[in-house]
Amino acid sequence: MEAAAGSRRRLTLRLLCPKKSLVARPSPSLRWLVGSPRFLPPLTVAAALRSLPDGASSPDLQREAEEIRGLLVRGFDIVGALHVGSADFDADAGRVLGLARALRERLCGERASHGMVGGCVDAASGEIRFLVSEGDGLEATEVVWEDEPGRLLWEKGCLLRCELPLKLPLYVPSDDMSEEYNANIVSCSKFFPAKRYNLSLTRESADAIQITILSNQSFNSSKANTPVVEYFPAPALANLRLINLKLDILCYSSVDFPVAAAVSELVIPGLADQLNIMKKAIVSELTTQQPQLCPYHFVPPGLFIPVTAIYDTRYGEIEEKQSELRRNLHLRLQLPLDRPLLRISNALNFSMEGTVKKASKNGSSLLRDVHKEIPSSGVSGGIMSLIDGSYEYYHYLHDGIDDNVMPHLQLC
């Protein structure tokens, strides 16, 4: 009897995301619940991502995993799923719980060691109920909607950022395949021009085979080491192309988490994930024009955690493919489609304090939402207006703006 009573212990599920992000139409649909079991209290849901395309019956888990892996910053994880428009709580909650487990396993390569959440929004009443799995299936008896979700996330949390520019050599088959040779037997003369005369006259450009020795050493050794050079011939004539990539990742951590552990367990795996994502994006265009991929980080309105989007900046933001990408991100993050929230100008600005902040494509030096910090003017007969979203304040020819032709407030 005591064991039975203990198995029905009272559980608390904390929800940091707005309620509308869970119950918003369309119905039926599926929401992936995001948390941080490592750094936040157990059974805490920080955000909800919409499964695409809509339909809670059979989501494409492989596609979902690939897109969510690039979207979520390291430190956040899938902790459950919610079925919107349910008619059978017991059946649907258990089913979406299984989907969440399967998605999480695809993302991380292992089964979750933390509690997972399955929930349903009743199609008729709109009531939200949850099932929590921690070994046994248990229904959460208490749901807490946090009044200050940002405080819970950031009072003891922090962001780690790592930028890593890379130049990767790529050897592609040459267009000139007229000459055939045995790749396994190549003499040094193969690397020299056909006509060679007095080398003493060409000191600055004498024939030479450039050999680069790569060293990968993770410990100090007192023993003498002899360099070893290996030659791996290409199976056919090849051209060298350099691929320029700029990795830029964010990780979420608690402020007391050891830096060494954060680097090895969050930053390095995050860089590897982003490199694989970029590889898949450019592999189909390597022989033509190379995509110019650039990651950007956002915290759009209604979302309390950062997300990352990788844009191809070759043709600008108005290019049709980029517009479609942003539209899909709006749908997944449940953002309105009638305003720009994921453009480059909306990205987080990581300028260091104490430096001159100039307006750029990544941020702005203008004051934002000034009404939050100043008292009412008290002007008699003044008109109070409501706006939705943030705005920037231009003050007396700031940045060369003519006040006579430009409004003082510009919506972001």
Instruction: Report the C-alpha gap between 61 and 374 in whole angstroms.
Output: 49
pLDDT tens profile 178-206: 444 454 555 555 555 555 444 444 444 44
* pLDDT confidence tier of residue 289, bands split at 50, 70 and 90: confident
Would you state the pLDDT for residue 301? 87
- Tell me which residue of 336, 335, 284 sits closest to 312, measured CA to CA: 284
- Tell me which residue of 309, 312, 333 sits closest to 322, measured CA to CA: 312
pLDDT tens profile 330-371: 999 999 988 888 988 889 888 654 333 333 444 456 677 777
Is residue 17 scored above 80 in pLDDT?
yes
**Which of 18-27, 164-173, 215-224, 269-278 shows the highest mean pLDDT?**
269-278
Fold of the CATH domain 11-154:
Cytidine Deaminase; domain 2 (3.40.140)
Would you state the pLDDT for residue 140? 60
Instruction: Report the C-alpha gap between 68 and 17 in whole angstroms.
Output: 17
333 by Cβ neighbours in 10 Å (0-12 / 13-18 / 19+) ranks as buried
**pTM for the complete prediction?**
0.74
Q: Are 237 and 183 in contact (CB under 8 A)?
A: no
Q: Are 368 and 390 in contact (CB under 8 A)?
A: yes
Q: Where in the chain is the domain with CATH 3.40.140?
A: 11-154
Residue 336 three-state SS: coil
